[in-house]
A = this chain, B = another copy of it.
């Protein structure tokens, strides 16, 4: 049987739910350069959730396809056409409501799988608010690019040719491109790839938003050296780590 909740009937869900870990993938609709689609964050978070769910008794709830506002130096910012951002409070509300409904269905273990850098603070606010209200439920939230999720040796293999620029700038770059090659090769257009990027992070934000500090392509770091193999390596390493965390903490 599929682990994807949207493919289950309510009776399938009922039969499995009591012992299950439910994963809630949260993505975004955000520019990822000329060669990747707007839904990279939704696709990767959903596919990783699916992989972990298949390793354990997991269920993947329907994906939240919109995320918090793209920032210039971690996603290109709001001025790229096709980047559709939610306000912070909206994201808090939707995550809160879905979590509360899972808890109303007597789910005791929830894993919020984030695929979009800028989402994290608002997802955590939702989790915190629901957790204060329902104290007997364990909720883990993680971004796959969180500290110490990917093992050091895999990082070395992925960033073999190119130096790791930090996760903020690693947008539409080697890690995401490689995982998209692995999960949805039909949506990756390497022929449109150009070498582009940003020199370094700024320690401040300036408004009104402008595109002046972002390359015209939207690429914040190079995707050169991306490969299906790296994508698979990342996906397997990340999901193995999540399996361990779940085993240990839930």
Instruction: State the A residues within 8 Å of B (CB).
Output: 5-11, 13-14, 17, 29, 31-39, 42-43, 61-66, 69, 71, 78, 80-90, 92-94, 96-98, 101-102, 104-106, 118, 120-122, 124-125, 127-129, 131-132, 135, 138-143, 146-149, 187, 189, 192, 200-209, 218, 245, 249
The answer to whether residues A9 and B143 also contact, given A69-B128, A85-B97, A207-B127 and a CB cut-off of 8 A, is no
Q: Complex: how many Å from CA A84 to CA B59? A: 14
Q: Complex: how many Å from CA A127 to CA B102? A: 21
B6-A37 in contact (CB<8A): yes
Interchain CB contact (< 8 A) of A6 among B29, B61, B87: B29
Q: Complex: how many Å from CA A129 to CA B17? A: 25
The closest CB in chain B to the CB of A28 belongs to B62
The distance from the CB of A176 to the nearest CB of chain B, in whole angstroms, is 13
Q: How many copies does the complex hold?
A: 6
B82-A14 in contact (CB<8A): yes
Known: A10-B31, A148-B203. 5 other contacts (CB 8 A): A42-B62, A86-B98, A131-B208, A138-B206, A204-B245
Please indicate the chain B residues that have their CB under 8 angstroms from the CB of A140 in the complex.
204-207
Q: List 10 A-B contacts (CB under 8 A).
A: A5-B82, A9-B35, A10-B82, A42-B62, A69-B125, A84-B98, A89-B89, A89-B92, A204-B245, A206-B249
Please indicate the chain B residues that have their CB under 8 angstroms from the CB of A89 in the complex.
88-89, 92-93
Please indicate the chain B residues that have their CB under 8 angstroms from the CB of A88 in the complex.
88-89, 92, 121-122, 125
Pick from A78, A148, A204 the residue with the most CB of B within 10 Å: A204
Please indicate the chain B residues that have their CB under 8 angstroms from the CB of A39 in the complex.
5-7, 62
A9-B29 in contact (CB<8A): no
Q: Complex: how many Å from CA A92 to CA B92? A: 13
B84-A102 in contact (CB<8A): yes
B29-A61 in contact (CB<8A): yes
